Structure formats: C-alpha cells, structure tokens
Chain A
Amino acid sequence: GNSVTQMEGPVTLSEEAFLTINCTYTATGYPSLFWYVQYPGEGLQLLLKATKADDKGSNKGFEATYRKETTSFHLEKGSVQVSDSAVYFCALRYYNNNDMRFGAGTRLTVKP
C-alpha cells in the first residue's frame, strides 16, 4: 500500500545550520506530496507541496523537490532559525482521493 517514511528524529541544530529531513514514499502512479509543520501545542499547517515529478515546492525558505526516480521528497532549508523548531510531517495523497498518508513526523529543535 501507499506509505511515507521519514528520517527519525529528533534533530537538533544550531541557528543558521543547513537542514535536511529525508522523506521517501511507496506508491503507485503519481501522488501529490506535502510537507506539514506542527508548532508546539498547535495543529498542522501546510508548509509546501508538489503535485508532479520534478516539481519544487517552496515556502518560508524551505524547499523540497519531487523526485520520482528516487521516490523522495526531502525537505531542506539553508539557514534554520530558532522559530523553525517544530515537528515536520511528510505526506502523500492521490488526486481526488480521501486517503492522505502521513509520515511519523520529525522533531526539529534549533538552538541559538
């Protein structure tokens, strides 16, 4: 079945460090891919998305490229800030399908 695998956390970085959170997926066809972010005590917010192969989603300095050849959608940011501390979820879903699959989440802590 369809599934998403994220790198396990927690991840702790110093401010201005480079961030990569790995995400790979298992699916047939061409799902849409998403990154959601959950700040402490809050619900999830969409961070970025990509709907077809080679698309790059970007928002707030974060980027992720839909790589069909490696079935990956790794999240990157060049210079993290303390305010980026949160849990990040990778997810996939097919167009017009109710079934969205989330990864287990990766907790990021950025220290000043």
Chain B
Amino acid sequence: SQTIHQWPATLVQPVGSPLSLECTVEGTSNPNLYWYRQAAGRGLQLLFYSVGIGQISSEVPQNLSASRPQDRQFILSSKKLLLSDSGFYLCAWSFRTGFGIQYFGAGTRLSVL
C-alpha cells in the first residue's frame, strides 16, 4: 500500500530565515505530487504540483519554490521567510491517471515570528 510522509510536523522560524519542507511517497511510482497551503480558518490553496522529476508547475507567484529531485520526493523551500508564510502546509499525491483522488500527508504547521 502507498504511504506519504511529511516532515517536520511543526516548525517555528524567524522572519528572513530559509525553509525546507520535505515530502516522500512510498509504494507507488510516477505519482503526481502537490503542495498546498491552508491559512488559519481558510480553505486550501494549491501552491505547486509536479507530474515528474524536475517538472514543477506554480499556481501562485510568491516567496516559495518547489523541487522534485527524485520520483517520490517533493520539497518546498524558501530563501527568506515572511510573516505571511505562516500556515499549515500539506503535501499530497495522486495516481498519474484516473479520477484524481489525492492522498494527503499529515501536514506541517509553520509559524513565522
């Protein structure tokens, strides 16, 4: 069966510091991968998705970037965090074809102070 791991679970970072959140998927090959942000009390905002190694699509221009160095690894980064980057970050995967059910990681709660 497939599993998705996301870490860290909680992160407190000062403004201006760098960020690296990692997500890995096990038990499948060639998944689509996604990063979402959920601001407090709000819905999900798709940040990036990837259909393959090195292929990243950005949905919202911002202070963040994503990379996919390996088939089942997806990394969310920032060079300098802003206060507005605080939120709950969710990684998800889906099969390449089909009805598109997305399977989510447990999330990372990021507080930028």
Partner of A45, one of B43, B46, B51, B104: B104
Say whether A20 faces chain B, with CB atoms less than 8 Å apart: no
Say whether A89 faces chain B, with CB atoms less than 8 Å apart: yes
How far, in whole Å, are A94 and B107 apart by their CA atoms in the complex?
25
Interface string of A78-112 (1 = CB under 8 A from B): 00000000000100011111111011110000000
Q: Are A100 and B100 CB-contacts (below 8 A) given A43-B90, A89-B43?
A: yes
Q: Are A102 and B44 in contact (CB under 8 A)?
A: yes
Q: Give the interface residue-count category, chain B.
A: 20 to 34
Residues from chain A with a CB closer than 8 A to the CB of B32 are 98
Say whether A22 faces chain B, with CB atoms less than 8 Å apart: no
A residues 33-77 touching B (CB-CB < 8 Å): 34, 36, 41-46, 49, 51
Say whether B7 faces chain A, with CB atoms less than 8 Å apart: no
Q: Are B107 and A49 in contact (CB under 8 A)?
A: no
Residues from chain A with a CB closer than 8 A to the CB of B58 are none
Residues from chain B with a CB closer than 8 A to the CB of A105 are 42-44
Residues from chain B with a CB closer than 8 A to the CB of A96 are 97-98, 100
Q: Are B100 and A97 in contact (CB under 8 A)?
A: yes
Say whether B49 faces chain A, with CB atoms less than 8 Å apart: yes
Partner of A42, one of B44, B92, B106: B106
Q: Are A43 and B99 in contact (CB under 8 A)?
A: no
A residues with a Cβ closer than 8 A to B are 32, 34, 36, 41-46, 49, 51, 89, 93-100, 102-105
* 14 A-B contact pairs sorted by A residue (CB < 8 Å): A42-B106, A43-B106, A46-B101, A49-B101, A93-B99, A95-B98, A95-B100, A96-B97, A96-B98, A98-B32, A98-B100, A99-B46, A104-B43, A105-B43
In the complex, given contacts A44-B92, A96-B100, A99-B46, what are 10 additional A-B residue pairs having Cβ atoms less than 8 angstroms apart? A32-B100, A34-B101, A43-B104, A44-B90, A44-B104, A95-B99, A95-B100, A98-B32, A98-B57, A105-B44
B residues with a Cβ closer than 8 A to A are 6, 32, 42-44, 46, 49, 51, 57, 90, 92, 97-107, 109
Closest 7 CB pairs of A and B: A43-B104, A104-B43, A93-B100, A44-B104, A102-B44, A32-B99, A43-B107
